[in-house]
Amino acid sequence: MVKLSAIEILNKFSKNSSHANEVSRLSMIIFEEVNSKIKEMPDKYKKYLQAGALLHDIGYYRNSKAHNKHSMEMLLEFGLDGFSETEEKISACICRYHRGGLPDKIEHEIYNTLDKKERKAVKRLAGILKIADGLDDGHMHLIKDIRIDYDEVNNIAQFIITPTNPEFLPDITPAIRKRDLFEIAFKCQSVLKLNQL
């Protein structure tokens, strides 16, 4: 079977790829901010996160109920061009944990097959994806930029979110609700606030 790229899979199973592309963009911004200010991560993690971000909602093609689990299954079923089997599992788990329950190495079969370092990567990258997805919850692309100010003494990551249009402020409460995995993965507290220009 010929494997497809994440973009090709997205185009095959999604009627509207704009939300996936926006979430991917926001995920990359957050990744770079976290990487430079909180915790340095290997460059290859960007590849896993980007694939997970682009494909996090493809499960809607099968069923809206538990779509995150369907996204994981579909990614594993179709594979990803240029990814090893383990890298596919990491990206599939990133899709799986963009919503719903937290990773559980006893209960969750695919996550359980990864080693400790790979599981930590999943938690960190899915934690980033959850916040990015929450920031575009309404699929309206209202975020221009994200900056993280990290207070090392108090171990608090403050997300400063700049809206595209200061007249039309985004609702960031979905992202605030979805920061649990980020805090667990990076062992810090987080605060999200709008940059009122």
pTM above 0.95, yes or no: yes
CB-based burial label for 99 (10 Å; 0-12, 13-18, 19+): buried
pLDDT in tens, the chain (197 residues): 789 999 999 999 998 899 999 999 999 999 999 999 999 999 999 999 999 999 999 999 999 899 999 999 999 999 999 999 999 999 999 999 999 999 998 999 999 999 999 999 999 999 999 999 999 999 999 999 999 999 999 999 999 999 999 888 999 999 999 999 999 999 999 999 999 76
Q: Is residue 174 domain-resident?
A: no
Distance of CA 48 to the CA centre of its chain: 10
Q: How many domains does the chain have?
A: 1
Q: Is residue 192 domain-resident?
A: no
Q: Is residue 196 domain-resident?
A: no
Q: Which domain holds residue 80?
A: 6-140
Q: Is residue 178 domain-resident?
A: no
Cα–Cα distance, 116 to 123 (Å, whole number): 11
Q: CATH number, domain at 105?
A: 1.10.3210.10
Hey, what amino acid is at 88? Answer: E
- Residue 160 backbone dihedrals phi, psi, to 5 degrees: -105, 110
Q: Is residue 83 domain-resident?
A: yes
Q: Is residue 125 domain-resident?
A: yes
- Residue 17 backbone dihedrals phi, psi, to 5 degrees: -95, 5
Q: Which residue carries 């990133």 as its tokens?
A: 94
Q: Is residue 171 domain-resident?
A: no
Q: Is residue 151 domain-resident?
A: no
